[in-house]
Structure 1
């Protein structure tokens, strides 16, 4: 039994502060099986060791368990020359074998590799490994450069297709004229002259890729094309050279048309693939090149790189916001449709947040910068969408396994076809043409493109409507969700309390509000803001008050027009020996609804109750419609909250949620989700830090974009607007996307399972096989692009 390959590792280590830390790391590394010659250098913060080549993840885990970190970074590589899923798989295997590589994912549709490496790993080694495998690669640079390169390659593809077709179509003319009784044939020398440039020049890329794959001991689509067309071209040369009299049977038109049709298919496929990434390009186009900075009253246009946090930026009407920030001066509206999916412009005034990429409306604004570059909301959205589009769905593992054995199986089928036809007594010519048809019709491209194109189209259209799908696994699982668990505050209800009910014993509710607002003026308490907002809505004047005093744990008191008033909780009422009187029944009813009560009292000259105020969080406008939409899809809803049972029950009944869990502590939420997962596929919807464990525990975590960064990082899906109706939309786009993946895979497999036997039976000539092969890839991508027509359910 051979011993495992040993490699030399240099691990960067973070968190060591002294010699004992280095010794602890060394002990941790020695516990990994097969490790030898460990040396930890505290000064350079590195560990040098020898270990089995496949033990890098174990080494990282061991260091992590010891309380230290092996830092890593992500490298994006743009790759040229991939033609099918087996190419992407080969590059992935090559990258995963390189020193310092933790993981590598290659996306055939985007022609990019996302490589997670140890910090300090030189990308040059990765590029050289890819080049040795027969492909060209470069570190993905600026977006504009990548776009220019892609556009240039597409134009070059178009010219190759046009020239190849110009040479091939004349070869087809005799066949096209034959049904009309015209029996005419190009001279053999002219057929040779037209077909040879196509075979040797326009197919040169196929030959190069086939040779490189052969050198690497792998199979790909190019080998099938090269073998098939070379066989037809070679047979034609042989027939021409050995002909003694008359016009020999030549197949130059077959080899030339196969190549031209495949080139045409690849061109159409490239155009379609660019459309699947249109969402990313639309988001990237939102980023301005610079901003109008104001310093000491002077406005100056500067690049984004010259900006700093805290800088003041002038945004003129119609211009895009270049940074995330807070409005410092001015009033306007902002169109955030492409960022949050919110169709209506949002009002902006001093203190409001603005987002880079949004369009300013009618007013001039001065914005104080709070986030720049990669830290802006727009940049984070782009990263999330790019990561999701580059990710592999679990179902794609099946395709990877199939692609590794696909080409060898097709070659074997072609050999069997050749042998069987010869054994049946057919001529060499017939046997060879049928074998060529088998080689040409086989299409691993369709298999390789089936899943990533659907994911790219689905995540792209979702992002346009304010739904950010962070990873492919969440996308694949979301369509199976049978239960949605909602957090209450901030998810289904507004996070800030509002005045819901008020009752004045003398019947004058306006005076009751004015007196309560006078006491609350200047207070930062959320209930105080609710009272003042209620006065503002009714356009009531708030009278001045004197001798205002906070009553710790009870409320607040003050003097208004010679009367001492107080506003507070039930303990304040009891402290002054006052009873609830005729308000007792009303208070009990409002408490059953989960409302917070405040009593307005007159303390002097006469101690008495003046009225009662009830506060509570209001339901979000789309909350009831969100639950109803889930019910229509057969998905049950649960409400999980740390609030009191009365409040939780009231919200659940108002929304039509049958199961509610009250007084659930943050650490208990994750356990409850795990319990629900035993019978259902669970999606958790939340927005706060306390929801993060539950979001991570759920099959699918859905974070409200109005919530905390912690919640969004723990979730697989983020809703950019605080609209709970987007939950049903997220599950629907997941269902549609997964449906497209299944359709694509079905047709890709069915195409090969039907096409290869037909070709082997002699029922398809090589040209039709070539056309069918080109059509299969284009149809798979075009089917995925139908997702771009998806729209959320219309809002009432």
Structure 2
């Protein structure tokens, strides 16, 4: 059924609902604008965007109008002259049309009926004996031409009349109106010439031009639809990952049940070689899982109940050679696979900023073409060419000017680009992020978990002289035991490795970005950063030399203080070490080779951050390290990078005379901005990801990662950052190529047709070729192989 889902509104806005609606019958960019205008007039609709390539409308409306919105939207679409469909109906139709020859019957009928009309015309221009053999001026009788052309004109071409009539009633224009007017003029001219011909005289008729134009347009539309099915292959491949049946483990053993009946908390059996049906965790057994279709990672990963990832399983991945029992944690629309499918669908249905300009051009394109055709007709009549020639030249203008390729240029490239990116583990949330990413000049990386492994270990525990090291570590680990912070987990792991039992702490309180406070056995401890200790006035003089030495080695240093009757007293230092992620150094080198500046943002002290930066190949002296940045300040750091780059741009830009003789930056520098991408884990980096021009979340498809960033990298490989920028560049290049060719066909073709150098048949072929070439060029993106 039609999908309508509640989505969060921006701050200060009323809650908004969304509705996705399939639309049949659209043929060009003018159709898109017409449907959007009709939907935006519906009471309660806040915005409506229509995508020609996916043939869907995405409607945003206020919550108060939820009742009846589906019916109102459908009525608006139908009144505009198009056929509304639910998304489920549309997807069912796409599944039925998987045959490469689906929908070819009307085209075949047109070819069969048009061939006898066009063959004599072709023979008439062939020099030599073949033409002489068949008769250079041989032509079918007028009545037979009429019999062959009429079904093409009014049965196969009925769709153009229907849609064109709706456009005319709405005082707008579209491709169908141009085709209907043009072919009707040629058909009507042929009838008039036949009816007014002298007895025994066979005039040249134009039935073949009208029939061939309609057939070529239908052929172009069929080729276009076939190419569209290829661009949506990524979505269909993701849908195919979901099995139909699951093996439910109940009181009576294993029972096969439809996947729709599985609920959270159920226990399922997954046999070797089967797909994981839904999200869950391993509770029995161990295996290797192939997650390549979700993450792009070719190597299988180990999964077991006591594994490092907690035995997490993602629906759609393939079980290896082990039989496992899993407990379901998410089903239906809440699974990672379902969210991935929604993200790709949303990206493919969204409009890139450049498409809005195309829509504005297309809104005035058809009326302008009608005026040009009228001028062409009157011009040739004024030149004395006669009604017949003038009408044919005007028909050629109408036919070649159809803006089909303009409407497909951007969405076709976006669909292909986002689809191939998804297969390589790069989920692009919206078209704007895809279009912006190719202009990125600086990439800011969060350190922990992005450039480093993110699982630090306790490398040193230095206590004050005379203190019981084991007892103090036991108390510190107890205070940290409830925290999910990587450093806290490292302390707990170190205590467990020593076999220390952790007592239950009291009054534990987390201070964001600073540390944790709690009591153990009646003694109150604070564990956190050196900055926090300094803010609290803890005297670290006795430990300062040791802290400096640890930081010089690149360690992240924290301190332990105890709250006593005399105040806070330092008790110990903790040093943590992390390792660079495999491939992180190479990823940064790839970005620098592309001319992109790389910056690391870290909450560590400057010594530790710079030591890790040098291991990654970054230059702290060049400003490529921002250290001691609290989580809440990362967004401000990103904004500083944007402003810093903008200031450098203004200083380096050519200068020109100001109005009072002074120098000021050129207009290009004033318009330009510095484009910054932020790469983080998508959880504590959410504000920074939102502040950046392009946010990239490194993660496994968590809700926070997917909603905070425009792009989600499904596996934690920093090299995917360069790949994401690369697919953005290639997609935008395809968009520009498509728009160039679309405009070339129209801008070059219209004058040629108006001047009489193109016949309606050639114009129809050129118009059909323009749409097919745009789709074919976009499909070349499917050859992209990532990095």
Pairwise TM-score range, normalised by the shorter structure:
0.7 to 0.9
The CA deviation string for residues 223-278 of structure 1, in whole angstroms up to 9 with x for no partner, is 11111111111111111111113321111111111111111000000000111111
Deviation at 1:80, TM superposition (A): 0.8
**Structure 2 partner of 1:666:** 631
> What's 2:227 paired with?
272
Task: Give the 5 Å matches for 1:20-35.
Answer: none
Q: Which residue of 1 aligns with 2:108?
A: 162
Aligned to 1:126: 73
Please point out which of 585, 592, 605 is paired with 1:624: 585
* 1:586-641 deviation per Cα after TM superposition (whole angstroms, max 9, x unaligned): 98554313315799xxxxxxxxxxxx996411111021111101100000011111
Residue 425 of structure 2 is aligned to residue 466 of structure 1: yes
2:682/2:706 contact within 8 Å kept? no
Correspondence 1:45-194 to 2 at 5 A? 65=12, 70-119=14-63, 120-122=66-68, 123-141=70-88, 145-148=92-95, 150-151=97-98, 157-178=103-124, 179=126, 180-182=130-132, 183=136, 184-194=138-148
Task: Report the secondary structure of 1:496's partner residue.
Answer: coil
Equivalent position of 1:735 in the other structure: 729
- SS of equivalent to 1:489: helix
Matched, 1:241 2:174: no
Alignment correspondent of 1:209: 163
SS at match of 1:348: strand
Contact 2:336 2:701 in 1 (8 A): no
- Provide the TM-score with structure 2 as the length reference: 0.81
What SS is found at the alignment partner of 1:621? coil
1:28 aligned residue: none
Gaps of 5+ in 2: 1-5, 463-468, 509-515, 521-527, 534-541, 560-572, 647-673
Q: 1:436 aligns with which of 383, 391, 395?
A: 395
Correspondence 1:498 to 2:457: yes
> What does residue 154 of structure 2 align with?
200
Any idea what the Cα deviations from partners look like across 1:450-489, whole Å, max 9, x if unmatched? 0111111111111110111101111111000000011111
State the distance in 1 between where 2:460 and 2:229 align: 56
Compared CA separation, residues 149 and 103, structure 1 to 2 (3 A)? farther
How far did residue 70 of structure 1 move? 3.8
Give distance in 2, aligned partners of 1:227 and 1:333.
Answer: 63
C-alpha spacing 1:318/1:522, structure 2 compared with 1 (3 Å): farther
SS at match of 1:185: coil
Distance 2:238 2:317 in 1: 10
**Structure 1 residue matching 2:450: 3-state secondary structure:** coil
- The aligned counterpart of 1:23 is none
Residues 485 and 683, structure 1, Cα contact 8 Å, conserved in 2 = yes
Would you say the 8 A contact 1:594–1:644 is kept in 2? no
**Given the alignment of the two structures, is residue 258 of structure 1 paired with residue 213 of structure 2, yes or no?**
yes
Contact 2:701 2:714 in 1 (8 A): no
Displacement after TM superposition at 1:535 (Å): 13
Aligned partner of residue 445 in structure 2, secondary structure: strand
Structure-2 change in CA distance of 1:298 and 1:138 (3 Å): same
* Rounded Cα–Cα distance in structure 1 between residues aligned with 2:409 and 2:689: 30
Q: Deviation at 1:779?
A: 0.4
1:528 Cα shift? 9.8
TM-aligned CA distance change 1:670 to 1:141, over 3 Å? same
SS of aligned partner of 1:115? strand
Q: Does 1:358 align with 2:305?
A: no
CA 1:339 to 1:543, structure 2 compared with 1: closer, same or farther past 3 Å?
closer
1:699 aligns with 2:693: yes
Partner residue of 2:385 out of 426, 433, 436: 426
Distance in 2 (CA, whole Å) between partners of 1:644 and 1:529 is 20
Mapping 1:383-402, distance limit 5 Å: 383-402=342-361
Q: d(CA) in 1 for partners of 2:353 and 2:22?
A: 23
TM (norm. structure 1) is 0.80
Q: 1:501 to 1:168 in 2, by over 3 A?
A: farther
| Partner residue, 2:768 | 774
Which moved further from structure 2: 454-463 or 585-594? 585-594
1:650 to 611, 632, 640: 611
Give the equivalent residue in structure 1 for 2:658.
none
Deviation of the 1:142 alpha carbon = 6.5
Q: Does the C-alpha gap of structure 1 residues 543 and 782 become closer, same or farther in structure 2, counting only changes over 3 Å?
A: closer
Contact 1:687 1:706 in 2 (8 A): no
CA contact under 8 A between 1:483 and 1:638: conserved in structure 2?
A: yes
Q: Given that residues 683 and 698 in structure 1 are in contact (C-alpha distance below 8 angstroms), is that contact kept between their aligned partners in structure 2?
A: yes
2:480–2:491 CA contact under 8 A, matched in 1: no
Could you say which residue in structure 1 is the equivalent of 2:272? 317
Residue pairs, 1:565-584, within 5 angstroms: none
> Is 2:362 aligned against 1:403?
yes
Cα distance, 1:495 vs structure 2? 1.8
Distance change in 2, residues 1:769/1:95 (3 Å): same
For 2:439, the equivalent position in structure 1 comes to: 480
Please give the alpha-carbon distance, in whole angstroms, between the structure 1 residues aligned to 2:311 and 2:251. 23
Counterparts in 2 of 1:527 and 1:667: CA distance versus 1, 3 Å: closer
The superposition leaves residues 59-88 of structure 1 with CA deviations (integer Å, 9 ceiling, x where unpaired) of x99xx75xxx74332211111111111111
CA–CA distance in 2 between the matches of 1:767 and 1:144? 35
Change (3 A) 1:746 1:523: closer
After TM superposition, the structure 1 = structure 2 runs for residues 444-459 of structure 1, keeping only pairs within 5 Å, are 444-459=403-418
693-702 or 681-690: bigger deviation: 681-690
Would you say the 8 A contact 1:109–1:273 is kept in 2?
yes
Shift of 1:709: 3.2
**TM alignment of 1:681-720, pairs within 5 A:** 681-706=675-700, 709-720=703-714
Q: Structure 1 unaligned segments of length 5 or more: list them.
A: 1-13, 15-56, 504-511, 537-541, 558-567, 572-578, 600-611
Contact 1:687/1:708 (8 A) holds in 2: no
Task: Give the equivalent residue in structure 1 for 2:758.
Answer: 764
Is the contact between residue 22 and residue 90 of structure 2 (CA under 8 Å) also seen in structure 1? no
Residue 643 of structure 1 aligns to a residue whose secondary structure is: coil
* Residue of structure 1 equivalent to 2:465: none
